[in-house]
Amino acid sequence: MKILKIINYFFTCLLCSLILAGCGTSSTGQRFSQSKTKNEEQPAKRTYRFSSPDSVKTKKTEVEHPQITFPDIPDSSLDEFDELPVETEPIDKSKFIGNYDKMKSFNVPFTPREKILFEVIKFLDTPYKYGGNNENGIDCSAFTKQVYQSSIALELPRSTREQFKVGENISKYDLKFGDLVYFNTTKRSYPGHVGIYLGDDQFVHASRSLGVTVSSLSDLYYKKRFVGARRVENIERN
């Protein structure tokens, strides 16, 4: 009887141990399963206070740059002058105009020289404008082109560099009225500036500082930048 009690007690303890072991394993597995699920969902819910390349993936987008087009202007991209011209020997334009303005009342055919001079007078004091080609604003090569085209129907290229290739090369000491004179005024184009020789060491041109004006070849600014002259038409012979 006593032995039976001992056996029953033993089996009862063993059964309780098995039950407790089963419950412990299930609970532990369930806890790990729940913890694993939470860890898997956590990255989706996680938010970053500060963004960085490691924490936030940014979408790369291509930036489209609009195509820039430029008008039909001379060969340099900005201007004909790197340094603003300073006239040290200004010419009295009123005296220049007075010598020819009275000739308009004469009822006689004009010579090619006179036609050029009257066209020059029309443009005097026109403001300088790079790329401009009329009385509202004009640059140097447009000025020479307009004067020759309107006065004696002589066509010149649009840019100073192209005009430098036209006609006959002339020495500074052989200059005559109507010859084109050239100056190295910018690193962007050679030559950078052009004018029309008038005689007496004077030339007319579209100056950046004074607009269309008459200047002296002896002026220090132009004297040290003079690079050559071309004869596109022998005006004196006509």
* Sign of the Cα pseudo-torsion (136, 140, 142, 147, in order): positive
Q: Before 109, cis peptide (omega within 30)? A: no
- Residue numbers annotated as active site: 140, 193, 205
CB 202 within 8 A of CB 208: no
The crossing angle, in degrees rounded to 10, of helices 140-152 and 112-123 is: 140
CB 128 within 8 A of CB 81: no
Which of 129, 103, 208, 226 has the alpha carbon at shortest distance from 171?
Answer: 226
User: Could you give the C-alpha distances from 106 to 96, 99, 103, 114, 162, in angstroms and in order?
Assistant: 18, 13, 5, 12, 37
Question: CA 149 to CA 103: how far, in whole Å?
Answer: 21
